[in-house]
Amino acid sequence: MKKYLSILSDMEQKIMGGVYSPGQKLPSVRNAAKTYECSISTIIRAYAELEKHHAIYSIAQSGYYVVQKPVDWQNKKEDNLIDFTSASPDPSVFPYLDFQHCINKAIDTYKHQLFTYGDSLGLDRLRQTLVSHLAGDQVFAKAERIVVTSGIQQALEILTKMPFPNGKSVILVEQPSYDIYLQFLAAEGVVVRGIARMATGINLRELEAEFRNGEIKFFYTMSRYHNPLGTSYSIEERKVIANLASKYNVYIVEDDYMADLGEDRDFDPIYAYNSTSHIVYLKSFSKIIFPGLRLGATVLPEQLLETFHSYKRYADTSLLSQASLEVYIKNGMYERHKHKICKQYYERMHALNEAVEHYNGEGLIRVSDVSSGVYMQFKLPQTINLERLMKRLSERNVNVVSGKGFYLPNYLVREKFLRISIARVQSKHIDEGVKAIFEEVKRGYSDPQS
Ligand SMILES: Cc1ncc(COP(=O)(O)O)c(C=O)c1O
């Protein structure tokens, strides 16, 4: 079992069993990482999961606390729960049998070699396979520039900690941005700056000013299916960002975690416009296959290779996972499964758009314009009390994520929104869930004190 899951289960038992009582502060992320002998990002993920299930809550600059009446969320009846929170693939579509076959085939093929530490840069044959796999997304690179990592998270951790040739140290993030990475940056005490990204895009002049004036080491961005907005950059935006990177010697860390969910085959990542000098391209295999595989690929410019390799030496990536993925891609199962998932998500997104159109007559909620991927932003009127809204929805068995956690603590120009994910909600339940959201938003808007 993944370390993070066993930690999560241990914490949950402690909460349920009263070792941590209601209102009690949980150990700091740093202390918990020491106790469980794991990385800080593993604890952040476990806390985020507990928070998502309303077992704990966080107070900025203070810590995590146990809620007054923790729910037994693992045993909670999931049948009638409409869960708009999770972005992990639906367990009902996990390719168990196909993958089992690939694991067996990998063991047969590689034999004892699979049970060694292996090369920290990744299994050679997988890196070769990834050359053509990535080329399908206009990411052209020799195998020497590809490193296999334990998911994008490990790559982000290394990139954050290692020095860059531009000698700069500040990390620029979009606001809002991927919550777990923001928490990681805070826990590591990294100097971070934020730049607004709206559902309509980013202000490129402001971005240029940041690149020109700031001490920006890299700009962390999601070019498509942004988490939490769901939107993608226009071709113009991607080209300009690629050019600004070289012009101002600022690196771009392009998190393409949902690359394979693209219905739009003409979408070229930022990397495609500046493939050799300043773009680090990150790909995840968590969203198409399953996160437990813990595999991702990092494509690096030549000048970052040596330092990245030296940091990666301390961060292993399972050979068994890698060899199985290599078989899975090579025998065409990956491509087949990808189409199945994409089709399913596309139908769900369609159902979401239809439901929004149906219930949003008054335009109370502004939604981001997305037709594929898994996320949509539901922008709420500023007067809505978010906590109360979420509590009322939870009482109606509809779980949603608030936009709050996707901002840096000191970033003040915030939008008030919900992040809606369709990854775990079947099409037939989407309408009911969206109806409940609109009803509760209307109720909170017309009577803010209620
Ligand atoms: C934006 C973003 N990047 C990266 C990840 C994690 O990717 P991985 O599982 O490959 O570490 C996630 C997970 O949800 C994510 O939302």
In a 13 Å sphere around the CA of 397, the CA atoms on its Cβ side amount to: 11
Q: Is 267 in the pocket of ligand 1 (CB under 6 A)?
A: no
Q: Of the candidates 331, 353, 371, which is a domain's last residue?
A: 331
pLDDT tens sequence across 159-192: 999 999 999 999 999 999 999 999 999 999 999 9
On whether residue 350 sits in a domain, the answer given is no
On whether residue 297 sits in a domain, the answer given is yes
Together in a domain, 60 and 193: no
Q: Is 389 in the pocket of ligand 1 (CB under 6 A)?
A: no
Distances (CA, A) of 95 to 100, 174, 330, 409: 8, 34, 15, 39
Together in a domain, 154 and 69: no
Lookup result for tokens 């919900």? 418
Q: Is 296 in the pocket of ligand 1 (CB under 6 A)?
A: yes
Q: What CATH number has the domain bearing residue 55?
A: 1.10.10.10
On whether residue 171 sits in a domain, the answer given is yes
* Amino acid 70: pLDDT: 46
Residue closest to 368 by CA, chosen among 335, 305, 415: 415
> How far, in whole angstroms, is CA 408 from its chain's centroid?
16
Indicate the burial class of 112 (C-beta count within 10 angstroms; 0-12, 13-18, 19 or more): exposed
Which atom of ligand 1 lies at the shortest distance from residue 284's CA?
10
Together in a domain, 60 and 102: no
On whether residue 373 sits in a domain, the answer given is no
Q: Of the candidates 276, 307, 331, which is a domain's last residue?
A: 331
Together in a domain, 224 and 127: yes
Q: Is 178 in the pocket of ligand 1 (CB under 6 A)?
A: yes
Q: What CATH number has the domain bearing residue 316?
A: 3.40.640.10
On whether residue 105 sits in a domain, the answer given is yes
Together in a domain, 157 and 197: yes
Lookup result for tokens 């993920």? 45
Q: Is 257 in the pocket of ligand 1 (CB under 6 A)?
A: yes
Q: How far is the CA of 357 from the centre of ligand 1 (A)?
A: 30
Q: How far is the CA of 421 from the centre of ligand 1 (A)?
A: 14
Q: Name the token pair of 286.
A: 């968590």
Q: How far is the CA of 342 from the centre of ligand 1 (A)?
A: 18
Tally the domains of the chain: 2
* Amino acid 2: pLDDT: 62
Q: Is 42 in the pocket of ligand 1 (CB under 6 A)?
A: no
* Amino acid 52: pLDDT: 73
Q: Is 153 in the pocket of ligand 1 (CB under 6 A)?
A: yes
Together in a domain, 290 and 180: yes
pLDDT tens sequence across 393-430: 999 999 999 999 999 999 988 999 999 999 999 999 99
Q: Spell out the alpha helix ranges (H) of 204-293.
A: 204-213, 235-248
Residue 213 CA to residue 232 CA, distance in Å, equals 26
Q: How far is the CA of 43 from the centre of ligand 1 (A)?
A: 15
Q: How far is the CA of 284 from the centre of ligand 1 (A)?
A: 7
Q: Name the token pair of 229.
A: 């907005």
On whether residue 39 sits in a domain, the answer given is yes
Instruction: Name, in order, each residue with C-beta under 8 angstroms of 24's C-beta and a sequence gap of 6 or more.
Output: 65, 66
Helices 124-135 and 319-330 pack at an angle, to 10 degrees, of 40
Q: Is 176 in the pocket of ligand 1 (CB under 6 A)?
A: no
Q: Name the token pair of 12.
A: 């949950």
Together in a domain, 286 and 153: yes
On whether residue 349 sits in a domain, the answer given is no
* Amino acid 112: pLDDT: 83
Together in a domain, 181 and 125: yes
Residue 200 CA to residue 78 CA, distance in Å, equals 35
Phi then psi dihedrals of residue 220, to 5 deg: -90, 120
Residue 388 CA to residue 408 CA, distance in Å, equals 22
Residue 398 CA to residue 433 CA, distance in Å, equals 6
Q: Name the token pair of 205.
A: 């002049």
Together in a domain, 131 and 19: no
Residue 177 CA to residue 180 CA, distance in Å, equals 9
Omega before 176 within 30 of 0, i.e. cis: yes
Top mutation candidate among 284, 287, 321, 424 for ligand 1, by most atoms within 8 Å of CB: 284
Residue spans of the chain under pLDDT 70: 1-2, 17, 53, 68-79, 262-265, 448-450
Q: Name the token pair of 22.
A: 């209601």
* Amino acid 74: pLDDT: 46
Q: Is 286 in the pocket of ligand 1 (CB under 6 A)?
A: yes
Q: Of the candidates 331, 362, 377, which is a domain's last residue?
A: 331
Q: Is 87 in the pocket of ligand 1 (CB under 6 A)?
A: yes
Q: How far is the CA of 299 from the centre of ligand 1 (A)?
A: 16
Which atom of ligand 1 lies at the shortest distance from residue 286's CA?
9
Residue-range definition of the domain harbouring residue 172: 97-331
Contact between residue 193 and residue 408 where contact means Cβ atoms under 8 Å apart: no
What's the pTM?
0.83
Together in a domain, 9 and 51: yes
Contact between residue 20 and residue 26 where contact means Cβ atoms under 8 Å apart: yes
On whether residue 264 sits in a domain, the answer given is yes
Together in a domain, 115 and 254: yes
Together in a domain, 111 and 206: yes
Q: How far is the CA of 40 from the centre of ligand 1 (A)?
A: 16
Indicate the burial class of 80 (C-beta count within 10 angstroms; 0-12, 13-18, 19 or more): exposed
